[in-house]
Amino acid sequence: MRRTTSRLLRGIALLSALAMGATACGGSDDDSSGQKDVSAGDIQAALEKGGSVTVWAWEPTLKTVAADFQKKYPKVKINLVGERSGDKHYTALSNAISAEKGVPDVAQVEYFAMSQYALTKGLSDVAPFGADKLKAKYTPGPWNAVSEDKAVYGLPMDSGPMALFYNKKVFDKYKVAVPTTWDEYVDAARKLHKADPKVFIAADAGDAGLTTSLLWQAGSRPYKVDGTKVKIDFADANAKKYTDTWQKLIDEKLVAPINGWTDDWYKGLGDGTLATLPSGAWMPANFETGVKNASGDWRAAPMPAWTKGDKASTENGGSALTLPALGKNKELAYAFVEYANSGDGVATRIKEGAFPATTAELQDNAFLNKEFEYFGGQKANEIFAESAANVASDWSYLPFQQYANSIFNDTVGKAYISNTKLSAGLKSWQDASIKYGKEQGFTVE
């Protein structure tokens, strides 16, 4: 059902893009290269003059941030619209951009979708507002995702260095050691499932985000992007590490065929049938609200390594606040984004459970020493911060990653439900992505 809807929505996005494209041709040719620098004084003047900023973002902590911001600048009204997320959010954003109507002044965009909007000139370069000087504040992974050469397409809001969340109660009960490598992970999966056939090491019914993150950690770099030249290749030796390991989990039915974020999934996390969850450092907030009944059962551990002793980590999820090119009140919009993601808003958001993308906060003692009651008093941020420091920054997503992710289940997903091998699934994902890229006018190899 969800997939049908999103497919329909994609159709709509495409259609409206086509229909509006014709009318839009004559109009806006002004290039962003001619943009002038905006000084701090200009922004201050705009804040004093006042106005309103429409923000499309589902990040829950922004509610408090917007209220604080309005208190600080009473003449500015922040109109926060957060009822849509994921596919529906991007469809609405793309629709508004192609229709040139109702475009928000600020939009949340996940890192994997950044280059898609940046490349199609959907987003304003915020470097002239002074964003380029903030580079040192952020961890490399997120900064790499929002910047391209000298342009900066948004400020990182949060980050998702990955960790392995595991249900300590289950591991203790069956006296299984917490895995530190992926080989040990497969062993642990076998032992747990043998001890209790209802227990699975994790839930995975095919998830593009998880697969790309694990490839990232394994050292595979399937996507190479240079302007409009794109290379897609899932056949390197490092990708094989991932497919070999994961194929075992699938073949031996050690992963539960449950889609993430569904009620079944939350239920499994709560009742001990899902023993681990490899996820981003933002996960604790979801544990606390969604899996209340398992409070105290779970702990965080570093991600298992692909080769023993290797510390390489990876990112999953995370997003930036951007300024869509067709939005209005740029000065005010940028002022809000900076306040939320680099200024006072960061502390507010951490307090409410968000995981920062700024190095100062990640190295802050109070942050590192925070004891998570949910994780039995564990100082989980130490693990997350260490993971953040070990993320390789040379990963890139496709400039049409959102589309590629949407066809993941039609290609790689087959490996989960039929005899198709995972490597073959990746190959057909590669082929389908290349085909789409060419249709979109990219030079794809």
* Contact status, residue 309 vs residue 107, Cβ threshold 8 Å: no
Name residues contacting another protein, limited to 315-344 (CB under 8 A): 317-319
| H helix intervals, 165-262 | 168-173, 182-195, 208-218, 237-251
Long-range CB pairs of 47-51 (<8 Å, 24+ gap) are 47/73, 47/75, 47/76, 47/331, 47/332, 47/335, 48/73, 48/75, 49/75, 50/74, 50/75, 50/76, 50/77, 51/75, 51/76, 51/77, 51/329, 51/332
Q: 20 or 389, CB closer to another protein?
A: 20
Q: Which of 3, 7, 19, 252 binds another protein (CB under 8 A)?
A: 19
For position 267 contacting another protein by CB under 8 A, the verdict is: yes
With a CB cutoff of 8 Å and minimum separation 6, the contacts of 11 are none
Of 11-19, 28-36, 221-229, 367-375, which segment contacts another protein by CB under 8 A? 11-19
What's the min distance (Å) between Cβ of 225 and another protein?
25
353 burial (CB, 10 Å; 0-12 / 13-18 / 19+) is middle
What's the min distance (Å) between Cβ of 13 and another protein?
10
With a CB cutoff of 8 Å and minimum separation 6, the contacts of 197 are none
Q: Which of 85, 120, 247, 428 binds another protein (CB under 8 A)?
A: 85
Distance CA 26, CA 300 (A): 55
For position 59 contacting another protein by CB under 8 A, the verdict is: yes
Name residues contacting another protein, limited to 93-152 (CB under 8 A): 96, 99, 101-102
For position 3 contacting another protein by CB under 8 A, the verdict is: no
Of 139-147, 213-221, 241-249, 266-274, which segment contacts another protein by CB under 8 A? 266-274
* Contact status, residue 177 vs residue 353, Cβ threshold 8 Å: no
What's the min distance (Å) between Cβ of 306 and another protein?
26
Q: 340 or 422, CB closer to another protein?
A: 340
Residues in contact with another protein by CB under 8 A are 5, 8-9, 11-12, 15-16, 19-20, 58-61, 81, 83-86, 88, 92, 96, 99, 101-102, 158, 160, 261-263, 266-267, 270-271, 280, 282, 285-286, 289-293, 317-319, 352-354
